[in-house]
Structure formats: structure tokens, C-alpha cells
Amino acid sequence: MYKLSQLEQQKGIFHVFSEKSDGSMSFKGVEINEIKERRRKFFGNFDEIHYEKVVVMRPFFAEVGSEIVIVTEKDTGRGIESPESVIPAEALITNTRGIALMLTVADCSPIILYDPNMGVLALIHASRLMTGQRIVESTLQKMVDVFHVKQKDLIVGIGPGIKRESYILDYVPTEFEQGEWESFIDRDESGKRHIDIPGINREMLINKGVSRETIEISPIDTARSDRFFSHYRDSRIGIREGFFATIVCLK
């Protein structure tokens, strides 16, 4: 398991990232009962997580405005034992203690937003596409509008994900053609582009009033680390792909 040091110091929250050694945590391409057993075994390691109160989201690359879901007690258990019951979303928000939000990824940045004063938590799927659609800004704004969160109070954790050194494309994606992101896209000697997805998301949060000092980015590059699954790496070398989980809850 893996944790971010800054979030680990917060008494009102619990978070954890599964690793490759824990096995893939997604139903994709795996027999359902195998995943159910694997999830139960992993969650059984933590007193803070109640298996029946986990809520799982499935990213679906939605249009902005329809992809952020507020989770309440009625949603508990969705997606934990059946792929049909997952919540289609790019971000989940809750202020209910004990509900564990879960996301499975394999390079995209999982982002946790936490306001310890208001007791509000969000889990965000920051893919390249959703980063371009400013999902982190939209989620933050919803937290402000609905729960009166203050940007200056937020603690932010950006989990393991693909980093600028590894995320290499032959072109600049249309979502990042605006000049404001120029400093987050390098061009190497061959003309290929290196894109800093975690850095762009951090900059968006800072521009919206979140303190730079309260944003922690995991140094782990999933495309280079043997500890985590990576779609970018594994698809290129022809090995079976998997997904690691981000789980977070209010205590």
C-alpha cells in the first residue's frame, strides 16, 4: 500500500493507494468473483474502511457539468461488488463520515481534495482529457457552492500517475493548445511533446486560491515504477493491463 505524507497527517481522513502486488482492483478484464475476493482481502487490512460502505466510480469522460456526483448514505455499496452498479462520474464529493470513495486508474492522476474545517472530501479522476476540461476546477467550485468550502483551507493530494518525463506524444493535444499551459509541455530533440498532467492540475488549483504549500504530488511515475500498473507502459510492451485503486474516506 502507498500513502501521501501530508494527507496521512490529517486526523479526519483516511486514504490509501493499492499497489501492483495487491492485484488489479478493476472489474475490467477479470472474473467478477476474483475481483470481489481481492477487494475484500485488501480492504480487510484497514479498520477505517467498511467494505459495505465503499462507493466506486467509473470514469466516462463526460461533458463538463454532468460528471461530478455528490455521494450520500443512499449510495453506499455501489460498484463494490458489481460493475453494473458503479457511479458513472469523473469526481465524487461527500461530507458523510464513513463513506469510502474509490477510483481505479493506471496512469491518470487521482486527486484528493479535503477541507478539514468543513469536513468535505472529493476524489477526482484527472485524465488528460478531463484535465483539459478543468475537472479539478469544476469539482472545487461545486465544493464551494454546495458545502461552502474555502480554497485556502484545502489539503490536496495528487497520487501516483504518469509524469512529464514519461508521458510522450507526437502532438500537442487540442485541450492544451492554449498558451497558458506552454510551460507544462516540453518538446524534445525529436519533436515529441512531454506533458505534465499533475503540474497542470496543481497550477489550476493554485490559480483558484489553493495554497501551493498544501498541495502534495506523489513523486511516483507509474510508467516507470514496478509498484503500480501503467496503461501507457503495459500496452506498449504487450503485457496484461491492470488498475490500482485510490480509496479515501472521512473518519
pLDDT tens readout for residues 115-154: 999 999 999 999 988 998 899 999 999 999 999 999 999 9
- Tally of domains in the chain: 1
Cell numbers for 23, please give them. 492485484
Residue 190 lies in a domain: no
Cα–chain center distance at 172: 23
Q: Please report, for the domain that includes residue 149, its CATH number.
A: 3.60.140.10
Q: Tell whether the model's pLDDT for residue 172 goes beyond 80.
A: no
Residue 74 lies in a domain: yes
Residue 177 lies in a domain: no
Residue 123 lies in a domain: yes
Query: What number is the average pLDDT over the span 13-40?
Result: 93
- Distance separating alpha carbons of residues 168 and 92, to the nearest angstrom: 29
User: What secondary structure letter does DSSP report for 191?
Assistant: S
User: In terms of residue numbers, what domain contains 151?
Assistant: 5-163+215-250
Residue 185 lies in a domain: no
Cα–chain center distance at 239: 23
Least confident of 29-38, 55-64, 178-187, 234-243: 55-64
Given this model, what pLDDT does residue 232 score? Answer: 84
Q: What is the pTM of this model?
A: 0.94
Residue 130 lies in a domain: yes
Query: What number is the average pLDDT over the span 165-190?
Result: 81
The more confidently predicted of residues 191 and 15 is: 15
Q: Tell whether the model's pLDDT for residue 206 goes beyond 60.
A: yes
Q: Tell whether the model's pLDDT for residue 85 goes beyond 90.
A: yes
Residue 92 lies in a domain: yes
Task: With beta carbons less than 8 A apart as the criterion, state whether 19 and 244 touch.
Answer: yes
